[in-house]
Structure 1
Amino acid sequence: MKSATTFLMFQGQANEAIQQYQQWFSELQVESLTYMENSQQVAMAVLHLKGLKMMVNDSVIQHNFTFTPSTSIFVECESEEEIDSLVAQILEGGQALMPLDNYGFSKKFAWIQDRFGVSWQLTYN
């Protein structure tokens, strides 16, 4: 096996999502980003966030499915301020699947679906 990578397929919102994720996560690096001809739709992008490699694109084929909350990106925050800030930002236009709280397994934890449908689990211990 050469590699295994998280792949996020959007339907016309990939560029907007990448820009939003760059605002939320200052550590996010865009390794490469190519657009479809004469368009702002993403043909392919490769992102890196704290060791996680993600491939992102806009599908040229319309699908009857989108992201599922059961697949999520898990983020371990370094401070209470960081988790509080990220949760507030991601909730703008999104929804809390598990609101920020102490669930026993984490001092602070939230499971949030962002406005693009991508799910994020954030934890601080």
Structure 2
Amino acid sequence: MTCIYQTRVTNLGKMVTNFLVEKMIILFKDNAPEDLADYCVLHSENQVFDVIQEQDVLVLGDAEYKILCVGEEVQSNLQNLGHITLRFVGSRTEGLGGSLYLEDKAVPTIHRGDRIAIYRK
């Protein structure tokens, strides 16, 4: 497997759990604007090694999710801001170019220290 992306969760905004019922997680690098940080899973490092593609696999903690669609802004937003939205909905929603669309599976519980990675098999 080839690692495409990796980082580590450093903090959880106090409103993160509100989005889990919507089957989404908002990622932002540690330097997120203060008014957004409460809604985000904050992370460090933000190591992007290659272009994310459909059929790559997102690993969050112990859970794996196949990537079904990559929004047109995901690559640049991830590289420049460490900011994308993970949507565990099984298909693409119109107009959300900064989102990574994943299998429709249960959204994992996230903890500080969890590894987030994307692999190509």
Instruction: Report TM bin, short chain.
Output: under 0.3
Query: Where is the helix percentage greater, Structure 1 or Structure 2?
Result: 1
Which TM-score applies when normalising by structure 2?
A: 0.25
Larger-Rg structure: 1
- Which fold has the larger relative contact order, with Cα–Cα distance below 8 Å and residues 6 or more apart in sequence? 2
Which TM-score applies when normalising by structure 1?
A: 0.25
